Structure 1
Amino acid sequence: MPEPIEDVTFHDEDWYAEELADRHFIGCTFHRVDLTEATSQGAVFDGCTFGDVQFNVSRHTDSAFTRCVFTRCNLFEAEFTGCKVVGSTFDRCDLRPLTVSGGDWSFVTLAGADLRGGRFTGVRMRETDLSGVDLTGATMTGVDLSDVQWRGTRLSGADLRGSDLTGLDPTAVQRAGAVIDMVQSVTLAQALGFDVRG
């Protein structure tokens, strides 16, 4: 495995379709770097800052983006499979349509993000900040959404089946047409104070 690259700033670089297999970056800054169609397998970005970075159509597998800050980045059709994104923040990023399969996105800040039509399946998102997020028509199936911040989240038409919705106050979100399963319906009824009996 290559030696970690620490505290380096990459500015206005063209990394189009770059293969970032097993690369390790610690505390680095990426500003206006083009990572369009780049792929990462087993790469690690720890405590890095991304500003105005293009991640369009990039593919990331079993990689880590922990405690990173993404500002005004473009993740159009980006895919994350089995990635660890714990503790990262996305600020004013273009995240549509984003695909996330498996992995751990706990303690991530996505407040106010536009995630309409996004796909999150089998991912852990404990204590993630989804306040004010637009998830209209999104798929969030089999997701651990325990202790998530939901205030003002738009869930209209979203598929939430099989996800952990404990802690979701149905009155605090826009929920028209959201799809849930029978177990979740009991959980939400109890959250509203109903005594559910057979």
Structure 2
Amino acid sequence: MTETTNHGAVFDRCTFRGVRFNVSRHAGAAFTSCTFSHCTFFDTQFTDCKLVGSLFQQCTFNLFKVSGGDWSFVGLPGCDLRRASLQSVRMREADLTGARLEEASVTDVDLSGAQLHSANFIRCDLRGSDLSSLDPLTAHLGQATVSLEQAVVLVTALGLNVA
């Protein structure tokens, strides 16, 4: 799949093992309930794609970009997404347990109901994202960038009253 340009292809319940998605571009495509195992995503872009219910296991992500689309119920537990760019994507009830998102850009992302326990958001830009599922006591948030509205959500999650 290296250097592939994919416009609208549909993959349902497929398993990708050891596949290189390097320098590939995917637009309006669907990878529903797929499993990605030991795959490489170097300089890979997904634009307005649907990956609902897909699972990523021991994959590598460098220069990884997602813009728009629906990634609800996606499993990315423990994935190293440092410096990734996730923008305006729906990730409802996604599993990001233990994911590494240091210095990533996670802006305007719907993370409602997402599993974020032990996720690392150090120096991550989270502006505009739904952080209602984020427990600031179990995630790493040092030097993350949030809006004032998000700060209120986080302070409230800590049990403090905002007056």
Give me the TM-score of the superposition, normalised by structure 2. 0.99
What code does the residue aligned with 1:53 have?
V
Match of 2:130 in 1: 164
Alpha-carbon distance in 1 for matches of 2:80, 2:152: 29
Moved over 6 A (4+): none
Q: Deviations over 1:122-180 (max 9, x none)?
A: 00000000011000000000000111111111100000000000021001011110000
Alpha-carbon distance in 2 for matches of 1:132, 1:77: 23
Q: For 1:52, which of 2, 8, 18 is the aligned residue?
A: 18
Q: Which has the higher strand share?
A: 2
SS of the residue 2:155 aligns to: helix
* Pairing 1:22-41 to 2, within 5 Å after superposition: 35-41=1-7
Percent identity of equivalent pairs: 50
Across the two proteins, how many residue pairs are aligned to each other?
A: 163
The offset of 1:194, in angstroms, is 1.1
Give me the TM-score of the superposition, normalised by structure 1. 0.81
Structure label with greater radius of gyration: 1
Alpha-carbon distance in 2 for matches of 1:37, 1:44: 18
Match of 2:159 in 1: 193
What code does the residue aligned with 1:62 have?
G
What code does the residue aligned with 1:47 have?
R
Higher relative contact order (Cα pairs below 8 Å, separated by 6+ residues): 2
Match of 1:87 in 2: 53
For the 8 Å contact 1:97–1:115, the answer to whether it is kept is no
Gaps of 5+ in 2: none
Alpha-carbon distance in 2 for matches of 1:160, 1:38: 30
What code does the residue aligned with 1:56 have?
N
Match of 1:139 in 2: 105
* Pairing 1:148-159 to 2, within 5 Å after superposition: 148-159=114-125
Gaps of 5+ in 1: 1-34
What code does the residue aligned with 2:20 have?
Q
